[in-house]
Amino acid sequence: MSRFLQQLVNGTVLGALIGLIALGYTMVYGIIQLINFAHGEIFMIGAFSGLYAYNHFIPESLRDDPAFALPLVMLAAIAGSTLVAVLTERIAYRPLRNAPRLAPLITAIGVSIALQEVVRLYYPKGKDLQPFPALVSQDAIEVGDVFIPWTSVFTIVIAVVLMLALEGFVNRTRLGKAMRATSQDPETARLMGIDTNKVIVLAFAIGGALAGVAGVIQGVRINSIEFQMGFLAGIKAFSAAVLGGIGNIRGAMLGGFVIGIVEAMATEYIPQGSSWKDVWAFVVLIVVLTLRPQGLLGERVAVRA
């Protein structure tokens, strides 16, 4: 039983991280129906931005103080990933907004590769793991026979709080209403005086900020980052968004939890499961979408011609 509970905890933590990245996909796709395959690299940029700030802007005497270093690293990650996300929208996606849908999709793949190469070339040892500081206690809470690291608690709490904050923003603020109006009918929203370009940029900025937070969390969890870390994480996050019902904020987080828990359980209980650990997310996606094409929470996004 303790093994099961331990894997459940591990899967929940992984799911929280995947769900946090998936919220960025949900924001962008929900507004302009763009599958931003470069979002995983935005997550990676956030991690490297935080590491750069730690190494170059925080005095050595204060680096061992998590209360001082962690907020600064987090802010730097948010700033870096948000800036890159906004620039990507302005330079790569906005000129293709009225182009056939295949064009921005191919562009997103190109942007993904370009961002990976920029980081790889900037860091002399880009192919190696870069050490990330332990900004959260590595100790664990013992609950019965289950050990829950503080990094796991930190990951789950941050992911859930940010999901609830995002949902509140979208549902209760004027900008959130403008985002929902743009998602439903951009032409009518424009006629009603909504600056749709501003709304789209805001969606990219929010998605980038969330990815930056996720990047720091990943670095803190495993104490290392690398320039290819965003590719598979981005694919899993997109799968989580589709699994939960793309366009649905809670669905994105639910999809992340489902994928994380299934991956952890399959790794533990299926023979040679660890060798196939990156496959289970897509197996679950195929099964669920076969039975329920709109995703677990059933959020439908109108298809625009």
Q: Lowest-confidence range among 86-100, 124-138, 226-240? A: 124-138
Res. 3: pLDDT tops 70: yes
pLDDT band at 248 (very low <50, low <70, confident <90, very high): confident
Amino acid letter at 275?
Answer: S
Q: Residue holding tokens 């929902």?
A: 180
Res. 23: pLDDT tops 90: yes
| Average confidence (pLDDT) over 177-197 | 91
Q: Residue holding tokens 């549902």?
A: 171
Is 244 domain-assigned?
no
> For the segment 197-233, what is each residue's pLDDT rounded down to a tens digit?
999 999 999 999 999 999 999 999 999 999 999 999 9
Determine the longest span between alpha carbons in the chain, in angstroms: 60
The structural domain count of the chain equals 1
Is 138 domain-assigned?
yes
Is 295 domain-assigned?
no
Please provide the size of the chain in residues: 305
Q: Residue holding tokens 């006629």?
A: 191
Res. 299: pLDDT tops 60: no
Computed over every residue of the chain, the mean pLDDT equals: 89
Res. 62: pLDDT tops 90: no
pLDDT at 100: 86
pLDDT band at 47 (very low <50, low <70, confident <90, very high): very high
Residue 155 CA to residue 13 CA, distance in Å, equals 6
Residue 130 CA to residue 250 CA, distance in Å, equals 33
**Alpha-carbon distances of 304 from 19, 30, 98, rounded to whole Å:** 26, 12, 12
Is 5 domain-assigned?
no
Domain that holds residue 106: 13-227
- Give me the DSSP letters along the chain: -HHHHHHHHHHHHHHHHHHHHHHHHHHHHHHH----TTHHHHHHHHHHHHHHHHHHTS-GGGTT-HHHHHHHHHHHHHHHHHHHHHHHIIIIIGGGTTS-THHHHHHHHHHHHHHHHHHHHHSTTTTSPEE----S---EEEETTEEEEHHHHHHHHHHHHHHHHHHHHHHHSHHHHHHHHHHH-HHHHHHTT--HHHHHHHHHHHHHHHHHHHHHHHHHHHSEE-TTHHHHHHHHHHHHHHHH-TT-HHHHHHHHHHHHHHHHHHHHHSTTGGGGTTTHHHHHHHHHHHH-TT-TT----PPP-
Res. 302: pLDDT tops 80: no
Strand partners, 147: 142
Is 26 domain-assigned?
yes
Report yes or no on whether pTM surpasses 0.85: yes
Is 248 domain-assigned?
no
Is 232 domain-assigned?
no
Res. 305: pLDDT tops 50: no
Is 164 domain-assigned?
yes
